[in-house]
Amino acid sequence: TRTHRIAVIAGDGIGQEVVPEGVRALEAAAEAYGFELRTTEFDYASADYYLKHGTMLPDGWFEQLSAYDAIFFGAVGWPEVVPDHVSLWGSLIQFRRHFDQYVNLRPVKLLEGMKSPLAGRSPGDVDFYVVRENTEGEYSSIGGKMFEGTDRETVIQETVMTRTGVDRVLTYAFELAQRRPRRHLTSATKSNGISITMPYWDERVEEMGRRYPEVDVDKFHIDILAANFVLHPDWFDVVVGSNLFGDILSDLGPACTGTIGIAPSANINPERRFPSLFEPVHGSAPDIAGRGIANPVGQIWSAALMLEHLGEREAAAGIQRAFEKVLAGSPREVLTPDLGGDGSTQSLGKAVADGI
């Protein structure tokens, strides 16, 4: 049988609660679809670990995690204890960068049973992907501060785009668009205001478009693009953006489909030289952590994306069907409070696992 070795990192807050439900779904899928799963849990990349060790990750994390086929990740961040830029830069962003997970893929889909905040939109109306560049761009580590503490204080941070970095994520996005029925790719830009990096981004999109003549390409400046997510979410098929623009759009898209609490994300190294990482879009949610009421579907959906990446397409589709069905029609006792129910993380997780 096929064996997949998975590093499991629950992290902070509700990460600790939803990850077990994600693992439950994975185990159900392994049994139903005939593959073997070897999971190992790690306690680092969490505020607890930081408090004990003064660092988010141990020496040797890179070699350790490199031995796995994928990383199944919960959430990191506990701002009362560790500032976000320390905890995030010290863990998640290191993973993305060192494992060269240069694609961040995030489905945006209006599902049955989910209440969209948009008027008059129904399931099926909205179904697209945000492809986000995940290693460079606005998330840079170059810059600094000068004339500190004076009126001349000046702070600079450099956005860095490389041809390699831009072209490879565009290639992924164009390939994805080409496989989809509508073959439509939208590029997020802001070349009218961000006058150096963004015109470059546009140039590369144009060049790449020539290599994929079957793909229908358009571009919008990020301001009006964000507006169009609200006004015309049905327009989109594959949307590609820089690290920052992709980040914004992949929260906004799920917000428009009412799925912000359940949206998944895949941090992918397409060449499989390094493990890819799968995590829900939501964070550690300190406000509801520890109460057993967090919705585990984002984690479970991420499990489906992970299995797809590992070549278990049927199992991935099985998980997807199972949670879509549970969301579309389950009694109150099963559903978590955010879905209008009075169930728990576990009741919802079990219902999905049973469905698989």
Ligand X SMILES: CC(C)[C@H](C(=O)O)[C@@H](O)C(=O)O
Chain residues binding ligand X by CB under 6 A are 88, 192-193, 223, 247
Q: What distances in angstroms separate CA 321 from CA 24, 115, 314, one per listed residue?
A: 16, 18, 10
Q: Put residue 340 in one of left, alpha, beta given phi > 0 → left and psi -120 to 50 → alpha.
A: left
Segment near a second copy (CB under 8 A); pick from 144-152, 271-279, 294-302, 331-339: 144-152
User: Smallest distance, Å, CB 126 to ligand X?
Assistant: 19
Give the interface segment with a second copy, choosing from 106-114, 244-252, 329-337, 340-348 (CB under 8 A).
244-252
211 binds a second copy (CB under 8 A): no
Annotated catalytic residue 167? no
**Is residue 157 a contact residue for a second copy (CB under 8 A)?**
yes
Catalytic residue among 69, 202, 216, 251: 251
Active site residue 190: yes
Both tokens of residue 249?
């759009």
* Pairwise CA distance, residues 75 & 227, whole Å: 28
Is 251 one of the annotated active-site residues of the chain?
A: yes
340 binds a second copy (CB under 8 A): no
**223 assigned to active site:** yes
Nearer to ligand X, 297 or 315 (CB): 297
- Is 100 labeled as catalytic in the residue annotation? no
Q: Which two tokens stand for residue 25?
A: 């779904």
Question: CB of residue 193 vs ligand X: minimum separation in angstroms?
Answer: 4
Q: Using CB under 8 A, which of 250, 269, 276, 347 touches a second copy?
A: 250
x/- site string to a second copy, residues 305 to 334, per CB under 8 A? ------------------------------
In contact, 249 and 229? CB cutoff 8 Å: yes
Closer of 281 and 304 to ligand X (Cβ): 281
Q: Residue 90: which of 132, 44, 135 has the closest Cα?
A: 44
Beta carbon of residue 151, minimum distance to a second copy (angstroms, whole number):
6
The two tokens of residue 218 are 């358009």
User: Token pair of 199, please?
Assistant: 């015109």
Instruction: Tell which residue, 208, 202, 125, has the closest CA to residue 161.
Output: 202
Token pair listed for 318: 């099985």
- Taken in order 88, 91, 94, 100, the sign of the CA dihedral is negative
Exposure string over 176-201, b if 16+ CB within 10 A, otherwise e: bbeeeeebbbbbbbbbeebeebbeeb
* Catalytic positions: 139, 190, 223, 247, 251
Q: Which residues bind a second copy (CB under 8 A)?
A: 77, 83-85, 88-89, 93, 116-120, 138-139, 141, 143-145, 150-164, 190-200, 222-224, 226-228, 230-231, 243-244, 247-248, 250-252, 254-256, 260
